[in-house]
């Protein structure tokens, strides 16, 4: 059995692309910050999990999911491998979405979003989640 369930906050708005097929399919990619249960030196740490949603789930992500929003995801774990331009074998682990769930009310999200500290990385309003550095070279991406 391959089943993953996660709850966390979106690091940024989902990035959505559509396939070039006769009937285009939405492919949404985003990162979910998930708090670890334990604390290291009194500081809560988070894991940043790559999420991919296809088809209707991708369209849902594009329409309803926003940076900072608390959601739950159910899906399966997938590990992809490829050879980069220098011949090195690369790996990517991601969760393929089967279902999305809202984990906070729209009113709660909107009130936090309106708070001036919402976009402040040092704010406690994000429950200890901080955006990761997204300095990724396009050449290292498998798509």
> pLDDT digits over 3-16, tens only?
999 999 999 999 99
Tell me if the domain spanning 2-113 has CATH number 3.40.50.2000: no
Average pLDDT of the residues in 107-117: 68
Alpha carbon separation from 118 to 23, 92, 126, 129 (Å, rounded): 38, 30, 7, 11
Average pLDDT of the residues in 11-24: 93
Mean pLDDT, the chain, integer: 83
> pLDDT digits over 91-106, tens only?
999 999 999 999 887 7
Domain ranges of the chain: 2-113
Nearest to 52 by CA among 17, 88, 2, 81: 17
pLDDT confidence bin for 138, thresholds 50/70/90: low
> pLDDT digits over 29-60, tens only?
999 999 988 777 878 889 999 999 999 999 99
Residue 125 has pLDDT above 50, yes or no: no
């Amino acid at each position: 059995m391959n089943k993953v369930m996660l709850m966390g906050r979106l690091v940024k708005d989902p990035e959505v692309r559509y396939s070039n097929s006769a009937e285009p399919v939405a492919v949404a990619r985003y990162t979910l910050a998930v708090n670890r249960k334990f604390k290291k030196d009194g500081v809560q740490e988070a894991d940043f999990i790559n999420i991919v949603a296809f088809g209707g789930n991708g369209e849902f992500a594009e329409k309803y999911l926003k940076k900072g929003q608390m959601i739950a995801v159910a899906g399966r774990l997938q590990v992809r491998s490829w050879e980069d331009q220098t011949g090195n074998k690369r790996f990517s682990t991601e969760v393929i979405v089967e279902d999305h769930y809202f984990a906070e009310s729209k009113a709660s999200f909107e009130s936090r979003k309106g708070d001036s500290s919402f976009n402040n990385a040092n704010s406690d309003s994000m429950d200890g989640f901080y955006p990761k550095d997204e300095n990724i070279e396009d050449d290292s991406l498998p798509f």
